[in-house]
Chains A and B, each alone.
Chain A
Amino acid sequence: MRSIVYTVAAVAVCIALVLLLIACASDLTNDYLTGWLAIAGILVAVSALSQVIFAVVAYLESAALRNQIESLRVKAVEAHENSLEQLQTLKRAFYDAAKASIAGLMESLSYGAQGQSFRIAMNNLKLAQMNVDLAHGTYLSLWSAMQNAFKLDKRCFLELESDIVQRSQALCKAERDRILKEFKGLKVQALDSLTKATMPHNWKLRGKQNVVP
């Protein structure tokens, strides 16, 4: 913008000077005075020309800077995308490694004896799986964490709410809405079964209030 203003100003000064010289040359008969006016005009024209050159240089500089900024921006975007990709790869690698180690433990349990200890150990491994699933944070892994918590322990499931809400922020809108809707759906069931489990047998639900008969 600055270079355009300089150019316009310089061209205007040149035109004005030329017009002035033409006017003076036609009115004056004194060649000496006309000569000085011409020299003065040339000086002003040179300075105007220098302004034009300055404006052109400023324009070329700004164009070069703009190109540099653009190439830097492209490089920055590429670097950002690369680091995101690396992050995703690392995240997947962590998930796969964690899954492999938990699955390995599950498999080794499967070669042992049947019974209550097998059941308890498997459930503990499922709790570990739940944390890995939560950390992974995809729609399916969050769903898996949710349903395992729901099956294993309703209180633990309800405690997941803030984690699920926080982790779901990284998902696309459709998946976020879906996982939150599904959490709400299961929450109703979890609250219901906790209420049933903690309520004395002689309590009855009347409307929204628990009333002791």
Chain B
Amino acid sequence: MKTLFVDEDWEIEVLLNVLRARHPEDEFDLAETLDQARKAIWAVKYDILVLDVMMPSDDVVVPKSSDKAGLLSGLLLKDLIRSDANCPNKDTKIIILTGLLPSEDSKVTEAQQIQGDLFLQKPMHPDAMYEILARESVNSK
């Protein structure tokens, strides 16, 4: 299973360290900025993408991400992935992982409704996270 996490939080670095130690057979990549994320997503095909909603904005990489101080930057990145036919991850399963409550913004509420059980709330325990990743990886095949 090849997964990319897009998040700048320490918590995710730790989560990935634990996942890598426990599941060396799987591949867990991390992109800490929108720029790194865009480069990785448009270059490599992943089984699952895990996106944070609130990333440091970068209007060049993800247009309008500085609107609302990056509050929706991860959702905008998701829209970019889905709308680009040339993106190798256009149809890859996307999990939204955020510390925000759905009530923070109507777009976040909307994302939660669309994502259903793929809208996850931080902090995530590594075991719970891996269970979901393994399940979704099987479902997507």
Contacts and interface: CB of A to CB of B under 8 A. Distances in A.
A103 B9 CA distance: 11
B71 A189 contact: yes
Nearest to A183: B69
A136 B124 CA distance: 26
A144 B12 CA distance: 13
Contacts of B13: 103
A176 interface: no
Contacts of A143: 56, 70
Nearest to B126: A110
- How would you classify the secondary structure of chain A's contact residues: helix, strand, loop or mixed? helix
Interface string B100-141: 100111000000000000000011011110000000000000
Given A107-B18, A185-B69, A151 B123 contact: no
26 contacts: A99-B10, A103-B13, A106-B10, A107-B14, A110-B14, A110-B126, A111-B18, A114-B125, A114-B127, A114-B128, A122-B123, A123-B123, A129-B10, A144-B9, A148-B99, A151-B54, A151-B98, A151-B99, A152-B99, A178-B66, A182-B66, A183-B69, A185-B68, A189-B68, A189-B105, A193-B104
Interface of B: 8-11, 13-15, 17-18, 54, 56-57, 66-71, 98-100, 103-105, 122-123, 125-128
Given A107-B18, A114-B128, A151-B99, 6 more contacts: A143-B56, A146-B69, A148-B9, A150-B54, A151-B54, A182-B69
